[in-house]
Amino acid sequence: MKKWFVLMILTVTLAICVSGCSTLTKKSFANNEAVQYTLYIGLNDKDTYQQKIPTGEAEKKVNAIALKYVDGFTEFSGKGVYKDDKGVVTYENNLIYIFNSATDEQMKSIMGEVLKELDQNAVLIEKQKVGYEFYGGKNS
């Protein structure tokens, strides 16, 4: 009898917890899904391993290129380090861009122009599915 009572209490508690989780999921943020791209662009020249174009100027160039293909993005600066195929360790300034409403084709176009404009061997791109929501206050 005691085991049955404990089992019943445990079952009811678990049912309440699980039902609470599903309610939270339905009312949580991120009701929309999209593909998000993050683009990491190093600013050192591919041949000299030195930064030839000042960060502000590179930012303006990349912004202009990106805006030819997409309507908006988030951009910020960072620092990166890598070891190339010759074992040379290189530290460099980076521009990091996040695109939420782009396609693979748009991203390839942006990257192709950026590679030429900034004299890069490659840029790093990440692609992931994300949930998002535009929050406009309590009544959203």
Domains of the chain: 32-132 (3.30.70.120)
Model pLDDT, residue 42: 95
Q: Which residues contact 126 (CB under 8 A, 6 or more apart)?
A: 37, 38, 40
Q: For the chain, give the longest Cα–Cα distance.
A: 80
Provide the edge-to-edge strand list for the sheet that holds 32-42.
74-83, 89-99, 32-42, 124-132
SS3 content of the chain, % helix, strand, coil (to 5): 40, 30, 30
Q: What is the DSSP letter of 114?
A: H
Q: What is the DSSP letter of 122?
A: -
pLDDT tens-digit map of 12-50? 455 554 444 444 444 566 688 999 999 999 999 988 889
Model pLDDT, residue 100: 93
Strand residues in the chain grouped as ranges (E): 32-42, 74-83, 89-99, 124-132
* Full-model pTM: 0.75
Contact 43, 93 (CB under 8 A): yes
- pLDDT tier at 135 (50, 70, 90 boundaries)? confident
Torsion of CA 47, 50, 52, 53, to 10 degrees: 110
